[in-house]
């Protein structure tokens, strides 16, 4: 599956991973956050567009991000949509963590940003979704601290 970088264009998965490693290794003394987030938007009566974003934040210096789109038949259940978003993020986070480890960067923490929060219709799902993410070995962030899903991924769903 292809990824899009706003600065580098369309990249294969391997090209994206190479760009991430090159970015980290260009300043190895810096501190980095690795963030994965997925958001979705129902475009029409037939289709839901899911966008997963990978953000490499060099603390104090800015970030790079990549995203991929995945269209599915319309998902009308909020619960199903949120669980599918989390599953897409978990799948991506597992691949990113493995590639970081293979390239000598296993010390970097991977956070999953979720499009759920204490306010609104998703509050009943927090315990289950956060438990699923934490149980998979990743840190979970919810609104308002989940900019990977609510800002970056959301920007490309429309």
Neighbours of 2 (CB within 10 A): 13
Domain residue extents for the chain: 3-155
Mean pLDDT by 10 residues, the chain (158 residues): 95 97 95 97 89 97 96 92 97 97 95 96 96 97 96 94
d(CA 61, CA 139): 22
Question: Cβ(24)–Cβ(105) under 8 Å?
Answer: yes
Burial of 144 (0-12, 13-18, 19+ CB in 10 A): exposed
Q: Name the H helices within 44-122.
A: 78-102
Which stretch of DSSP H or E encloses residue 131? helix 126-135
Single pTM value for the model: 0.95
pLDDT tens digits for range 29-71: 999 999 999 999 987 778 999 999 999 999 999 999 999 999 9
Q: Are strands 3-5 and 9-11 parallel, antiparallel or unpaired?
A: antiparallel
């Amino acid at each position: 599956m292809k990824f899009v970088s706003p600065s580098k264009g369309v990249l294969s998965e391997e090209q994206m991973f190479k760009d991430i490693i090159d970015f980290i290794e260009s300043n190895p003394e810096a501190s980095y956050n690795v963030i994965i987030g997925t958001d979705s938007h129902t475009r029409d009566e037939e289709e839901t567009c899911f966008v997963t974003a990978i953000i490499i934040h060099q603390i104090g210096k800015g970030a790079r991000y990549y995203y991929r789109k995945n269209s599915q038949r319309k998902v009308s259940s909020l619960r199903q949509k949120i669980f599918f978003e989390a599953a897409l993020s978990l799948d991506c986070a597992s691949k990113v963590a493995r590639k970081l480890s293979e390239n000598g960067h296993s010390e970097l923490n991977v956070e999953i940003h979720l499009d759920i929060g204490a306010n609104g219709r998703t509050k009943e799902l927090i315990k289950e979704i956060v438990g699923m993410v934490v149980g998979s070995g990743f840190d979970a962030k919810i609104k308002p601290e989940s900019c990977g899903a609510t800002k970056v991924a959301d920007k490309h769903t429309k």
